[in-house]
Amino acid sequence: MEQYDIMVVGAGSAGLCAALQASYVLGGHRVCLVEKNGMCGGTTTVGGVNFPGIFHVWGRQVIAGIGWELVEQTRRESGKPLPDYLCEYPMAHRHPEYQISIDAVVFACLADERLKAAETVVKFHTMIGAVRECGDSNLVTLCGKDGLYDVAAKVLIDCTGDANLSKLAGAKLNVMDECQPGTFSCYAMGYDYESLDMEELQKNFEKAVEAGEVTYDDLGWNRAFTPAFLKKHGHNSNHITGINAADSVGRTRMEMAGRASLMRLFRFLKKQKGFENLEFKLASSECGVRESRTVQGLQTITVNDYVDGRVFDNAVCYSYYPVDLHDAKQGLVNRKIQPGHVPTVPLGALIPKGLSNFMVAGRILSSDRLANSALRIQATCMATGQAAGAAAALAIKHHCEPADVDLDELRRILQENHAIVPPRE
């Protein structure tokens, strides 16, 4: 049977950084990274949202480390200099300008290079089927293309985005009654946005809504006509509502609903003036999911903690993004962070209650719903992933639980790997 010190499940923004950081501390042959898709990156790559952020705010960088290095290298390899983000932060509503557009293919290739250099054991096209304790290890049943097999690991890190590993392990979870909508990104091409007759288009679109041929969600994020999809050429601009995609049943529903949404819109637009040459090209292989489940951790980040920029005594990283809840009925619900404040993430938010040798990172960390709507952003996922990887590695080195690692040593390891760690009060 294969045996590892650490198994990371999910190779998105969080899992990639967790696996690399753990490999840097322990040696990659002792770390296993499991991913259901055929590439790393998660939302950044297969989800079509290839503009991670936010790394800078209030005139300074607040998130760096492994994830930032990959973003920086992707821009450099693509021949694109990084913008100057160290100027004073602009109006809060302009925060998307501080996300960094990157080439998703180059990012995925560089991730492979980093994992290979670190000697991390990578298992693509692999799902998890069961988790059970066995002595001082966890046995995880994996499903590869050739069938089921068990792998042992001492510490598990759930970076699935949907708390799938946590659920199998028996963690206490928060499941939303109604989740934020997902988005199915594509590249809409073959038309000139500036030349469109928007008044005529709106009239025809609203008639099509009344006839049940399209929905307002197909074109944007509001309960009325909006040109968001057309202006952004399909990129991260529709809503797939009313589905929790945490499990395979929900995920199937969301994927099919997402494609149905694009098909409705395509058929409508092809009949409109200016769209005679319209094409939809693949930007993502799956829907981007904003919300499904979170864990109940040793500490929970509340929205007040977040917007007030609370610095926890055991903070392991910063986070920055305005509260950004996509509501199917209200549209976007925002709450601004106090000027000059930068929220933090405590170690306890990465450790589920009641589980031994288990950590989480990414959007499933322990937080209330409004705080989570900001914490789910890619740069924060990268930072929490790196922190979880470091803490798990220290737990292995010192034969202790992740909650009991020495915070000063954890901070030192993160800083040695170029992460930015909030100062201890």
pLDDT tens, position by position, 231-244: 999 988 899 999 99
- So what's the pLDDT on residue 92? 47
Q: Which two tokens stand for residue 317?
A: 């990283």
More confident residue, 86 or 295: 295
Query: Quick one: 295 and 204 in the same domain?
Result: no
pLDDT digit string (tens) for 258-267? 999 999 999 9
Decide if pLDDT at 93 tops 70.
no
Residue 422 lies in a domain: no
- So what's the pLDDT on residue 237? 86
Decide if pLDDT at 74 tops 80.
yes
Distance between CA 289 and CA 14 in Å, rounded? Answer: 15
- So what's the pLDDT on residue 86? 61
Do 20 and 117 contact (CB within 8 A), yes or no? no
Residue 383 lies in a domain: yes
Query: Quick one: 243 and 316 in the same domain?
Result: no
Query: Quick one: 233 and 132 in the same domain?
Result: no
Query: Quick one: 324 and 208 in the same domain?
Result: no
Considering 226, 261, 282, which residue would you say is the last residue of a domain?
282
- So what's the pLDDT on residue 291? 92
Residue 354 lies in a domain: yes
Q: How confident is the model at residue 220 (pLDDT cuts 50, 70, 90)?
A: confident
Query: Quick one: 50 and 161 in the same domain?
Result: yes
Q: What is the mean pLDDT of residues 114-142?
A: 96
Q: What is the mean pLDDT of residues 55-80?
A: 95
- So what's the pLDDT on residue 258? 95
Considering 265, 282, 299, which residue would you say is the last residue of a domain?
282
Q: How confident is the model at residue 390 (pLDDT cuts 50, 70, 90)?
A: very high
- So what's the pLDDT on residue 87? 55
| C-beta atoms surrounding 76 within 10 Å | 13
pLDDT digit string (tens) for 283-328? 888 999 999 999 999 999 999 999 999 999 999 999 999 998 887 6
Share of the chain above pLDDT 90, in %: 82
**Three-class DSSP labels, the chain:** CEEEEEEEECCEHHHHHHHHHHHHHHCHHHEEEECCCCCCEHHHCCCCCCCCCCCEECCEECCCHHHHHHHHHHHHHCCCCCCCCCCCCCCHHHHHHHCCCCCHHHHHHHHHHHHHHHCCEEECCCEEEEEEEECCEEEEEEEECCEEEEEEEEEEEECCCCCHHHHHHCCCEEECCCCCCEECCEEEECCCHHHCCHHHHHHHHHHHHHCCCCCHHHHCCCCCCCCHHHHCCCCCCCCECCCCCCCHHHHHHHHHHHHHHHHHHHHHHCCCCCCCCCEEEECCCCCECCCCEEECECCCECHHHHHCCCCCCCEEEECCCCEEEEECCCEEEEECCCCCCCCEEEHHHHCECCCCCEEECCCCCCECHHHHHHHCCHHHHHHHHHHHHHHHHHHHHHCCCHHHCCHHHHHHHHHHCCCCCCCCC
- Count of domains forming the chain: 2
Q: What is the mean pLDDT of residues 21-43?
A: 96
- So what's the pLDDT on residue 362? 97
Distance between CA 286 and CA 240 in Å, rounded? Answer: 12
Residue 421 lies in a domain: no
Query: Quick one: 297 and 259 in the same domain?
Result: no
Residue 34 lies in a domain: yes
Decide if pLDDT at 94 tops 80.
no
Distance between CA 97 and CA 91 in Å, rounded? Answer: 10
Query: Quick one: 277 and 358 in the same domain?
Result: no
Share of the chain above pLDDT 70, in %: 96
Residue 425 lies in a domain: no
Reduce the DSSP state of residue 350 to 3 states and report it: helix
- So what's the pLDDT on residue 90? 47
Query: Quick one: 206 and 140 in the same domain?
Result: no
Query: Quick one: 149 and 198 in the same domain?
Result: no
Query: Quick one: 66 and 208 in the same domain?
Result: no
Reduce the DSSP state of residue 346 to 3 states and report it: strand
Decide if pLDDT at 6 tops 70.
yes
Decide if pLDDT at 123 tops 60.
yes
Average pLDDT of every residue of the chain:
93
Q: How confident is the model at residue 399 (pLDDT cuts 50, 70, 90)?
A: very high
Query: Quick one: 165 and 242 in the same domain?
Result: no
Residue 252: give the domain boundaries: 186-282
pLDDT digit string (tens) for 342-384? 999 999 999 999 999 999 999 999 999 999 999 999 999 999 9
Residue 424 lies in a domain: no
Considering 232, 261, 282, which residue would you say is the last residue of a domain?
282
- Poorest-pLDDT segment among 34-43, 75-84, 307-316: 75-84
**pTM for this predicted structure:** 0.95
Query: Quick one: 143 and 194 in the same domain?
Result: no
Residue 206 lies in a domain: yes
- Poorest-pLDDT segment among 6-10, 95-99, 269-273: 95-99
